[in-house]
Amino acid sequence: MHGAPRLTFPCASEYLWHAREKAYQDHRRKVQSAQPLVDTRTPLTFHHLHLKLKRLKLEEERLSVIERDNRLLLEKVASVMRTRGQTDSKNNSKHRSRK
């Protein structure tokens, strides 16, 4: 270390030079022992922002509609299976002619 620069005036006080030298050495010591100040930790997570309640509600409603449709379809398939899939193809309407 070179120390603090000397004053060019010979009339400068030796005490002043020592004070500046001490301040400079303190400064150099602080610079050498300085730690980085950048915070590299992950940011805080707020669960109320990650938990999308509206999306969960819409998903629940969608699943309930699917469950209802599946239940209705199952009932129809069960009904067809019970009645052996017989279809009524008779046409009971009567043809009317226009006069």
Q: What is the mean pLDDT of each run of 10 residues along the chain (99 residues)?
A: 58 79 95 89 84 92 97 92 73 72
pLDDT at 44: 87
> Residue ranges of the domains in the chain?
50-81
What sign does the dihedral 57-58-59-60 (CA atoms) show? Answer: positive
pLDDT at 27: 96
pLDDT at 11: 53
pLDDT at 37: 86
pLDDT at 43: 87
pLDDT at 22: 94
Q: Alpha helices, DSSP H only, in the chain?
A: 14-32, 47-50, 53-82
Q: 62 φ, ψ to 5°?
A: -65, -40
How many Å apart are CA 58 and CA 62, to the nearest integer?
A: 6
Q: What is the pTM of this model?
A: 0.41
